[in-house]
Amino acid sequence: MSSKSIQRARASLRLNPSLYDYLRDEAAFRLADRVSDINRVFDVAAEIGCGRGHLIQHLTSDSVRFLYQCDNSTEKQITPSPDVDTLLLNVDEEFLPFAENSFNMIFSSLHWVNDLRTTLSQVLRTLKPDGCFLGVTLTTDTLFELRVSLQMAEVERLGGFHPHISPFVESARFGELLRECGFSLISLDVDDIEVLYPSMFELIDDLRGMGESNSVIGRPLRLNRDVLFAASSIYDAERCVPATFRLLFFIAWKPDPSQVSQI
């Protein structure tokens, strides 16, 4: 199991994990809104990395008839959809066990994937021709306020700094990867979600609850107390702690002769 999978599993064991769902709920709502813009009904779809079922709450049978909810942990409590038939499967997001040309649509939140190229190639394989791949991932400049504050504090106190925020994919590079893996008609757009916290410490606690604190191997397991308070002072200069989550939404299609060429 990867370090990110372990981190996510630990987060799911918190006493009330739904308290930390607000970011994924909002991302799922915005993703579902993009589904409604596609004038098509997808008979069989799969969601890779369904988590606690954030997306299914916003989907209707007008867009999706049947959804395979795939996650590498099926111990999470998922609220069933009143409108879309579903089946929950225990699936490693990086090793999709589905036959070629299985789905009309695949949804995914790829922040947890370690090997993007392998996963994208498997998604393309399991999509039917003219099948749609729609998803969202955190992109660069996410949590830049926290990142800069921690780096400045560590340089001041320790003479250097370590990464404490998970690495995020660059939007341009992600588009290139989609093309290299064989997708067509690719579209990318970026949305920002800004959340205000009482202090930096509540933000860090929420990141741990989400499973989004850094899982980079080799980092210090605990932040130095002196560094934390110095970073908090830098971050909280005006008694307001904003945190920016930058979401990269993407849509791509499996090539088919019926498609209009991308301009």
pLDDT tens figures, 164-209 = 777 788 999 999 999 999 999 999 999 999 998 888 888 888 887 7
pLDDT tens figures, 3-52 = 444 444 444 444 455 677 888 899 999 999 999 899 999 999 999 988 88
- Output DSSP code: residue 139: B
What pTM does this model have?
0.83
3-253: what CATH class? alpha beta
Mean pLDDT of 141-163: 81
Helix (H, G, I), strand (E, B) or coil at 208: helix
Q: Hey, how many other C-beta atoms are within 10 angstroms of the C-beta on 245? A: 18
The domain segmentation of the chain, as residue ranges, is 3-253
Q: What pLDDT, on the 0 to 100 scale, is given for residue 237? A: 57
pLDDT tens figures, 60-103 = 999 999 999 998 876 666 777 888 999 999 988 778 999 999 99
51 vs 37, 125, 192, CA distance in Å? Answer: 24, 23, 21
Selection from 67, 71, 63 nearest residue 36 by Cα: 63
DSSP labels, 160-192: S----B---B-HHHHHHHHHHTT-EEEEEEEEE
